[in-house]
Amino acid sequence: MRQIPVDTSAATVMVAKSPQPKVRDRRTGEIATDAETGAKLMTVDVMFAANDEVEILSVTVPETGVSDDLAMGTPVALTGLVARPWENEFNGQKRHGIAFRAVAVTSLASAGSTSKAA
């Protein structure tokens, strides 16, 4: 499947909702895992502000790539962010969208306070 790299250098990115386990099957509560590594996947909702527009993006990240200190409003860096277009058909209805995946979501809160003091 095609992956499109997303440049976040000119964007402001902050946590909109604390990380949650990504559920693979809502009926059973099964948690999604990475097909290659087997790592548990998490979903982090972020506010992505760029070009005078703001959107809430739901980003899938391996649990090992999620900082412990991610609370609502925390400025973050998204390492290796890619967008993947998707499409499926369920009960005769076609659906499509864009899924976002990152290698890591890292807090910039401590880095920001350090740079201000310097």
* Mean pLDDT along residues 8-18: 95
Q: Which residue has the higher pLDDT, 61 or 113?
A: 61
| Rounded distance between C-alpha atoms, residue 18 and residue 33, angstroms | 19
For 93, the token pair is 């209805």
pLDDT, one tens digit per residue, over 48-95 is: 999 999 999 999 999 999 988 899 999 999 999 999 999 988 888 999
Q: Is the pLDDT of residue 111 over 60?
A: no
* Mean pLDDT along residues 94-102: 94
Residue entry with tokens 């979501």: 105
DSSP 103: S
Per-residue confidence band for 36, with pLDDT thresholds at 50, 70 and 90: confident
